[in-house]
A and B are shown apart, each in its own frame.
Chain A
Amino acid sequence: MSSKDKKLSSERVQRVIELCNSVEQRGVDPFAVDVDDIIATLQKYFPDWESPQELAMDAQAVQCLASVIQNQGNWVKYRSTSLYTDPFLLEEKINKLNKEELATIFTQVWNPIIEMEQLSIPTLTEAIKYWNELAPIDQRWQRNELIQVEAGATTREELVRLKILAEKTFMEELESFWKELKQTVGEATKILYWDFVGTNTYQETLNRAYMTSFLVTYGYATLELVPLEEEVFIKPFTEPNSELADKRMVSVPISVSFEEWTRWKKEKQQ
């Protein structure tokens, strides 16, 4: 098939898609679409499609045609219901009636919802309390004084100091944390979670727990749970295990509260 013929066929299929979409989107009579003719056309062109785009277009046409057939089914179902009325007949009736007659008919079948909006004394009291405690808008929307400075060059160190840039990227930090885990575990294959995560300060402990959660999520390590002893171990992998991401993941909540940390610290000192 020449490229010119292919272009023409492709345009024809695009028109089929547009026609089918107009049934769905603009309420065109679904029986205006000649389904048999379109199926024959799609069958004729199908052997010539090669590229994924062409095949996707063909699949889209088939899908749109299926929705037209579904619409035809719905149309037949609707016509058989008691709600079906010939639109032209109804339009004729509406045109014949004046405004008063239309309103009279409608109010016979219209049952408006009753809804109330009311303030109660407790709500008003709450509102007054809130209003009295509310700071004036010029205080709440106070703008910081702007300081004009000369434009100049900065260094990476300066940006790190200002905490705009991190000293290491997150992945670099994670990798070095993984190495630390492997070194700490050494010959043994695993280490107790708290023995690895816990440090002298609570803030650092939290930071290590945060990094550990990423080690496990990204497949650098895994957790081993011993339910009877209520112990959690961390086992580092020698190589990052990317296959874990494809498996079904299980979340393990571990509490790193201040109380837990204090208890661990006391036990360690003893």
Chain B
Amino acid sequence: MTRKAYYAKKIKKATQLLFYKRHMKPGVKGWELKSALGSDYPKILKVLDGHLEKLNLQVKTIFEGETPSKEPTIEELNKARFYVTVRGGFPAKDAKMMGWRIDDIAGLATAISYIISKKGKAQRDKVEDLLRSKLPGWRVDMNMNRYIRSGYLGEDEHGMLYLDWRTHAEVDQKALVELLLLK
């Protein structure tokens, strides 16, 4: 098999693994990719990322714990989770095609940014009060449950909300706060 054919085969396999949902949570763990693609899977993902760029998509890596400041080690990559996400945001009007109303997105933006400002944890009542200032009461509760169900927010036994796995995977939190403050 030529080098080109080898990589083409591996990229196809990586695409299948990353796009098709196989577990409850989307995405693939690094060690899963390693066993399916071989130890050079970071290189294969890099090539795939290049192909996806043309479609405004990207391969996103979410590390376990904090993102390493330097080039990640293979051990860190094996423990990380890989997703395919949209690259660089999208126009607000396109959200409708994804099944999100403008109210839902505005509510999610408010909840996430408020929780960020509260050091990653905020009382559910407080977040709901803030949402009620812009959304009808019946919608607030429904939306809140949707955000929690989808994995954007989590709720602990004391009624405290925190940012859950999907927010970490999909939202650039730093950029969100900066954009809000610039307004």
A222 to B27, CA, bound (A): 51
Segment among A1-9, A108-116, A150-158, A167-175 that sits at the interface with chain B: A108-116
Q: Which residues of B contact A110 (CB under 8 A)?
A: 86, 89-90, 105, 170-171
A74 vs B94: C-alpha distance in the bound complex, in angstroms? 39
Question: In this assembly, does B123 line the interface, its C-beta being within 8 Å of a C-beta of chain A?
Answer: yes
* Main DSSP-derived SS at the A contact region: helix
Interface residues on chain A, number (Cβ under 8 Å): 40
Q: Which residues of A contact B172 (CB under 8 A)?
A: 109, 111
Give the Cβ gap from B92 to chain A, nearest Cβ, in Å. Answer: 5
CA distance A110 to B175 in the complex (A): 10
Cβ contact within 8 Å between A107 and B92? yes
Residues of B within 8 Å of A86, CB to CB, are 117
Does residue A103 face the partner (Cβ distance < 8 Å to B)?
Answer: yes
Instruction: Indicate which residue in B92, B173, B181 contacts A93 across the interface (CB closer than 8 Å).
Output: B181
B27 close to A108 (CB less than 8 A): no
Residue of B nearest to A102 (CB): B106
A47-55, A77-85, A124-132, A192-200: which lies at the B interface? A77-85
Size bracket, chain B contacts: 35 or more
| Any B CB within 8 A of the CB of A268 | no
B95 adjacent to chain A (CB < 8 Å): yes
- In the complex the two chains form, is B113's CB within 8 Å of A103's CB? no
A257 part of interface (Cβ distance < 8 Å): no
Contact of B47 with A by CB under 8 A: no
| B179 interface contact, C-beta 8 A | yes
Flag whether B51 is at the interface (Cβ < 8 A): no
Query: CB within 8 A of A91: which of B57, B117, B123, B175?
Result: B117
Q: From residue 59 to 88 of chain A, which have CB atoms closer than 8 A to chain B? A: 74-75, 78, 82-83, 85-87
Across the interface, name the chain A residue whose C-beta is closest to B19.
A116
- Asked if B149 lies at the interface with its beta carbon under 8 angstroms from chain A, I say no
A93: nearest residue on chain B (CB-CB)? Answer: B180
| Contacting residue for B160 out of A27, A87, A89, CB 8 A | A27
Residues of chain A within 8 A of B34, CB atoms compared: none
Query: Are the C-beta atoms of B103 and A113 separated by less than 8 Å?
Result: no
Q: Which of A119-139 contact B (CB under 8 A)?
A: none
Q: How far is the CA of A105 from the CA of B180 in the complex (A)?
A: 7
- A93→B89 contact, CB < 8 A: no
Give min CB distance, A87 to chain B, whole Å: 4
- Residues from chain B with Cβ under 8 Å of A108 in the complex: 89, 175, 179
A26 touches B117 (CB 8 A): no
- Report B-chain residues with C-beta under 8 Å of the C-beta of A90: 113-114, 116-117, 177, 180-181
Residues of A within 8 A of B90 (CB): 107, 110
Q: Is B110 part of the contact surface with A, judged by Cβ < 8 Å?
A: yes
Those of B158-183 within 8 Å (CB) of chain A: 158, 160, 166, 169-177, 179-181, 183
A141 is an interface residue with CB less than 8 A from chain B:
no
- Contact B169 A113, beta carbon cutoff 8 Å: yes
Instruction: Kindly name the residue among A78, A101, A105 whose own CB sees the greatest number of chain B CB atoms within 10 A.
Output: A105
Please tell me if B140 contacts chain A, counting CB pairs below 8 Å: no
Cβ of B57 and Cβ of A114 under 8 Å apart?
yes
* Cβ distance A138 to chain B, nearest Cβ, rounded Å: 32
Q: For residue B183, which residues in chain A have a CB less than 8 angstroms away from its CB?
A: 93, 96-97, 101, 105
Nearest opposing residue in chain A for B177, CB measure: A85
Q: How far is the CA of A91 from the CA of B60 in the complex (A)?
A: 30
List 7 tightest A-B contacts by C-beta distance, closest first. Answer: A106-B109, A102-B106, A99-B106, A115-B26, A111-B85, A87-B117, A103-B105
Give the A-binding residues of B (Cβ under 8 A).
19-21, 26-27, 57-58, 60, 83-92, 94-95, 98, 102-103, 105-106, 108-110, 112-114, 116-119, 121-123, 130, 133-134, 158, 160, 166, 169-177, 179-181, 183
Q: List 17 A-B contacts (CB under 8 A).
A: A82-B174, A85-B117, A90-B113, A90-B114, A93-B181, A96-B183, A102-B105, A103-B106, A106-B92, A106-B112, A110-B171, A111-B170, A112-B170, A113-B84, A113-B170, A115-B20, A115-B21
Known: A27-B122, A90-B180, A93-B180. 18 other contacts (CB 8 A): A27-B118, A74-B119, A78-B119, A89-B181, A90-B116, A91-B117, A91-B130, A94-B130, A101-B183, A103-B92, A103-B95, A106-B105, A107-B91, A109-B176, A110-B86, A111-B86, A112-B98, A118-B20
